[in-house]
Structure 1
């Protein structure tokens, strides 16, 4: 862990680096570009080759998709407790989603034309669920569940299988419960390419959502335009900002929980209290030996964790906005003052009793959130991102008459006389 205070000579340079921009790495960009090209030219053959290379699984057209028998087996194997957890999480997701969906509207403009917007669900979306260290059942719910709530008729889950060609039963159960109409057993950049471009076996989708590693994120970045995407959610991250009122044991537990994701996860703690900084450090050391994934956590503590003492709480808020973390925990005696000033976080958890884990699994908002500084430009996944917006315009003769002078003036300025003529002709006898 890096432990730095505002009095250290390295403080200014370290804080400067926390103002992030999510630029792709050159090597990642090139590799992903090659994968996309292979999938575009060779289709299924490329998908099967990459599945063998990266996941160690032999896929064919016969076992590429999860079968009905596999779904049925998953439902039998999943415990009643898991089914109840899925049910309760989905209930909150659907309730939250319904409140955030955009609704059709119409009104008359100054010339009397009827204008408005219509919102319809995408026809077919791809939901990416990472594989690897743990079955991310909650990610299935917090992607497909929002698509289902928005009324998307075709939801394609994509997640890598194990070397034996199987997918975790709890994950399959969650995908089906959340509305997935098919599940394809592929992961990585090749899955994003196949969903975006299509192959002989995989029909392309209109939009791709879901988190992933840096290769998945880069594939989504490169394929914008070929397909709509949600945002660029990469490895997990948290920044906890606390004054002296923070509970050090809770803070340490939240930091360790995010470090549990391993890999390139980033974990940060910022405080204006020297005493609290010391207590949190001790609490991390005390709790770590009690956890079941110490190797993943130690890797993140070594390479992706910082504890920072700032001179003032206002300095901490500025750092939080520069860092634009996926999750921000805000713990302060004056929430009303400071909460409105956190403007770039993917999600904010307020107070000592608001663990990020509740947002990860149950609260209702999607945990698919911008990372890598992307919070400046993107917000987290929402139900309205599964809605296609269409503007509607309807005129009658009177609104055409009132509009004509303005249309003719713009047509004159821009040298587009056919535009003016197309409006004026509607008033001629």
Structure 2
């Protein structure tokens, strides 16, 4: 890995990348076709892009049952334990409706209501992601969403990977469809003969999925437009080079556009990590993708002081931040921008990806400056409650009418004053 000064750091391209003109046009064509032709278009594009001819889009209960039998008992137990951890964490995020009554009889409050239906997109292609099923479905279930629909691309055999279906069974998702790409997003947004439309779409995908989510936003809500995965490790001389290198590669193997940075106060560690990354790359099954990510998008930055290193981390605003310094908890309070913070040597990033409980659907490419991980709050909406008493109304109505006239909205003012006239009668 290249070792650089902090002054050479450049903020990565935004995860809100618009894609190429050709990609945008392709996505719009697919969405239009799905809106007009429904299942017929879905089947056409599944054959075109996935190489699979589907008679039925929906995964049957028998297919789910078969998938579960293919996973050994130990792995099922691990999936269940991870699901329990995720549920326990997200249950703490649940917000209650509330109301308050003032002395004059006014009632104000907030009503929290779960969304009726959500669609979760689970990526396929180069890998299977049971963890994405758990991380998207469980918060929705905890929030009280009535209908959770899952879409995921089929393999060449026309089936969904067994681990993905086993995770869906554990998460309580049974409405599953073997479709992916922009066509799946369009189906969730507009509905087809087989798929009822939803109110929100969550989950990561490739550039075509991201562009499709952008296109349908407003018809439905979306969680975020996820970009390539990234990790930053903040470390001093106490960190172990082989472990830091392994953690950097854990994100580099996601794809060629992934980014893995080390920010350190130790040149000795920087050089040792660079050597370790090169050595460990040779042993990875996905070494070609990981190498491209390391060589094209990743660097080691050496800072003069820990304060300078922390400021650099806040500038990067990483999706995943590992803190491997002598007193890591003392640093946590100084981090302003990070999707998830992994504190100490034994909090390796995969701990959060799979098992600890916090959500692994995180803001990418610097968007942690203004956004948060997926949570229960993403699956609810809030309504304000306003119940003015007569006393409160009579006390404030003329003030409100005057305010309305300040904005030139006479009908607003008269709506208030109409009640004065009613009282006079």
TM-score range, shorter chain: over 0.9
- Matched with 2:79 is 86
Distance apart, 1:17 and its partner CA: 4.1
* Structure 1 residues 271 and 19: alpha-carbon distance in aligned structure 2, compared to 1, 3 A threshold: farther
Distance apart, 1:19 and its partner CA: 7.9
Moved more, 301-310 or 185-194: 301-310
- Matched with 2:3 is 4
CA distance in 2, matches of 1:194, 1:181: 17
CA distance in 2, matches of 1:270, 1:57: 45
Distance apart, 1:229 and its partner CA: 0.7
1:58–1:163 CA contact under 8 A, matched in 2: no
Q: 3-state DSSP class of the match of 1:162?
A: coil
Q: Equivalent residues in 2 for 1:21-420 (5 A)?
A: 22-27=16-21, 28-60=23-55, 63-108=56-101, 112-420=105-413
CA distance in 2, matches of 1:39, 1:313: 53
CA distance in 2, matches of 1:327, 1:232: 17
* Structure 1 residues 245 and 58: alpha-carbon distance in aligned structure 2, compared to 1, 3 A threshold: same
Moved more, 395-404 or 139-148: 395-404
Q: 3-state DSSP class of the match of 2:333?
A: helix
Q: 3-state DSSP class of the match of 1:341?
A: coil
2:4–2:299 CA contact under 8 A, matched in 1: no
Identify unmatched segments of 5+ residues in structure 2: none
* Structure 1 residues 318 and 109: alpha-carbon distance in aligned structure 2, compared to 1, 3 A threshold: farther
* Structure 1 residues 220 and 110: alpha-carbon distance in aligned structure 2, compared to 1, 3 A threshold: farther
Distance apart, 1:322 and its partner CA: 2.4
TM-score normalised by length of structure 2: 0.93
CA distance in 2, matches of 1:17, 1:125: 33
CA distance in 1, matches of 2:102, 2:48: 58
1:214–1:235 CA contact under 8 A, matched in 2: no
Distance apart, 1:298 and its partner CA: 2.5
CA distance in 1, matches of 2:317, 2:183: 29
Q: 3-state DSSP class of the match of 1:116?
A: strand
1:378-414 deviation digits (Å, cap 9, x = unpaired): 2110011111111111122112112212211112222
* Structure 1 residues 104 and 17: alpha-carbon distance in aligned structure 2, compared to 1, 3 A threshold: closer
Q: 3-state DSSP class of the match of 2:300?
A: strand
1:211–1:232 CA contact under 8 A, matched in 2: yes
* Structure 1 residues 213 and 109: alpha-carbon distance in aligned structure 2, compared to 1, 3 A threshold: farther
* Structure 1 residues 31 and 315: alpha-carbon distance in aligned structure 2, compared to 1, 3 A threshold: farther
* Structure 1 residues 376 and 36: alpha-carbon distance in aligned structure 2, compared to 1, 3 A threshold: farther
CA distance in 2, matches of 1:227, 1:111: 40
CA distance in 2, matches of 1:95, 1:352: 24
CA distance in 1, matches of 2:152, 2:15: 28
Distance apart, 1:161 and its partner CA: 0.4
1:141–1:175 CA contact under 8 A, matched in 2: yes
1:240–1:329 CA contact under 8 A, matched in 2: yes
1:315-361 deviation digits (Å, cap 9, x = unpaired): 32233222222111122224354322322211111111110101000
CA distance in 2, matches of 1:417, 1:341: 50
CA distance in 1, matches of 2:85, 2:365: 27
1:20–1:322 CA contact under 8 A, matched in 2: no
Identify unmatched segments of 5+ residues in structure 1: none
Moved more, 17-26 or 265-274: 17-26
Distance apart, 1:36 and its partner CA: 2.1
Moved more, 164-173 or 315-324: 315-324
* Structure 1 residues 36 and 294: alpha-carbon distance in aligned structure 2, compared to 1, 3 A threshold: same
CA distance in 2, matches of 1:115, 1:295: 58
Distance apart, 1:43 and its partner CA: 2.3
CA distance in 2, matches of 1:218, 1:343: 29
Q: 3-state DSSP class of the match of 1:389?
A: strand
* Structure 1 residues 255 and 118: alpha-carbon distance in aligned structure 2, compared to 1, 3 A threshold: same
2:123–2:129 CA contact under 8 A, matched in 1: yes
1:20-64 deviation digits (Å, cap 9, x = unpaired): 57332233333323322222233222222221121111123xx20
